[in-house]
């Protein structure tokens, strides 16, 4: 890709390894309904959470490039694993070569910015994929912004497969959600806020609220990321001008389009007619 690429107004790209990013897209569209969006789910290669840094980076970069080829000027990585493992490298090493005028934003920093307003004890639990927890991205970002806070991470390797396999309401979900909540809270009795640090997890909210003690604030990212994007576009009018305003949304998946459409329709509360795509490797 070279710098002769057009900067005409285009949809905002929203990327996730699978269905999880829909929990972010839904909230973004509530707060910013005027823009056009393209959602890309790499369902064929989900979950990313157990994959190496290198693979998550390669897969994410392929998706970002694809969205850029569709004209997107701004891409949101609606995926904590990709935000933890690929965002910085893409921003620092790839964007300057691909097109320095385009932007890729993640979901971890906006979430961490909010935590200070929510926790009173300063003891924060984080649920995430094994990749996100092992990357210590939340620990690092929270230490920068709230140095007195203590972070307790817990990886939930079964939660994403439960969502991707449409088992969010089943008995298996009860078993794993309860087990992981108990394991996180056993680390510290003073945890008063738990970040759902994976965009798939809000899709298990029914089970999470069933087993989470009510005194604990469960932090969902969708609304936080949406408000942060709104603020970003207010502060960057040059980017705002390059976001097309038609109120439309296209859905792309690397897996079966019919399967994607039927589940996605439930999450976003509207008819979804997804298109299958193949990413260049
Ligand atoms: N939804 C993604 C996240 O926020 C990734 C889940 C996965 O593919 O493992 O981490």
Q: What is the pLDDT of residues 99-157, one digit of tens each?
A: 999 999 999 999 999 999 999 999 999 999 999 999 999 999 999 999 999 999 999 99
49 Cα nearest atom in ligand 1:
9
- Which range, of 36-45, 176-185, 245-254, 259-268, averages the lowest pLDDT? 259-268
**Contact 17 CB / ligand 1 (< 6 Å):** yes
Give the distance (Å) from ligand 1 centre to CA of residue 124.
20
**Contact 197 CB / ligand 1 (< 6 Å):** no
Tell me the HSE value of 241 on the side-chain side, using a 13 A CA sphere. Answer: 5
What is the CATH T-level fold of the domain 108-221, as seen in this structure? Rossmann fold (3.40.50)
Mean pLDDT over the full length of the chain = 95
What pLDDT, on a 0 to 100 scale, did the predictor assign at position 166? 87
Identical topology for domains 3-106+223-276 and 108-221: yes
What pTM, to 2 d.p., does this model score? 0.94
Residue 82: closest CA among 125, 32, 18, 140 = 18
CATH for 3-106+223-276 (3.40.50.720, 3.40.50.2300, 3.40.50.1860, 1.10.420.10): 3.40.50.1860
Cα→Cα distances 42→27, 168, 183, 252, Å: 20, 19, 30, 8
* Per-domain residue ranges of the chain: 3-106+223-276, 108-221
What pLDDT, on a 0 to 100 scale, did the predictor assign at position 267? 80
**Contact 222 CB / ligand 1 (< 6 Å):** no
Q: Where are the beta strands (DSSP E) in the chain?
A: 12-16, 37-41, 74-77, 103-105, 123-128, 150-155, 193-196, 217-219, 249-253, 275-276
Position 2 confidence tier, pLDDT thresholds 50, 70, 90: very low
50 Cα nearest atom in ligand 1:
9
**Contact 153 CB / ligand 1 (< 6 Å):** no
Q: What is the DSSP string of 182-247?
A: HHHHTT-TT--EEEE-STTGGGGHHHHHHHS-TTSEEE-SHHHHHHHHHHHHHH-HHHHTTB--S-
């Amino acid at each position: 890709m070279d710098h002769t690429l057009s900067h005409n107004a285009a949809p905002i790209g929203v990327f996730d390894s699978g269905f999880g990013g829909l929990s972010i897209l839904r909230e973004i569209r509530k707060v910013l309904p005027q823009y056009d969006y393209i959602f890309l789910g790499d369902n064929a290669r989900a979950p990313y959470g157990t994959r190496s840094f290198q693979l998550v980076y390669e897969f994410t970069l392929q998706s970002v490039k694809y969205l850029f080829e569709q004209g997107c000027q701004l891409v949101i990585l609606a995926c904590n694993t990709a935000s933890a493992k690929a965002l910085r490298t893409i921003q620092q090493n790839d964007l300057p070569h691909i097109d320095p005028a385009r932007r890729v934003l993640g979901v971890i920093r906006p979430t961490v910015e909010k935590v200070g307003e929510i926790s009173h004890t300063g003891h924060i639990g984080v649920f995430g994929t094994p990749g996100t927890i092992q990357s210590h991205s939340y620990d690092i970002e929270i230490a920068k912004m709230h140095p007195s806070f203590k972070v307790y991470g817990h990886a939930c390797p079964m939660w994403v497969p439960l969502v991707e396999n449409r088992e969010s309401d089943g008995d298996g979900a009860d078993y794993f959600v309860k087990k992981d909540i108990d394991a996180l809270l056993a680390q510290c009795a003073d945890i008063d806020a738990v970040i759902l640090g994976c965009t798939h997890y809000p899709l298990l909210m029914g089970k999470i609220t069933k087993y989470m003690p009510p005194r604990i604030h469960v932090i969902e990212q969708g609304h936080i990321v949406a408000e942060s994007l709104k603020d970003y576009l207010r502060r960057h009018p040059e980017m705002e001008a390059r976001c097309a305003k038609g109120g439309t949304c296209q859905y792309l998946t690397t897996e079966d389009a019919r399967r994607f459409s039927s589940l996605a329709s439930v999450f976003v509360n509207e008819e979804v007619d997804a298109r299958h795509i193949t990413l260049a490797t």
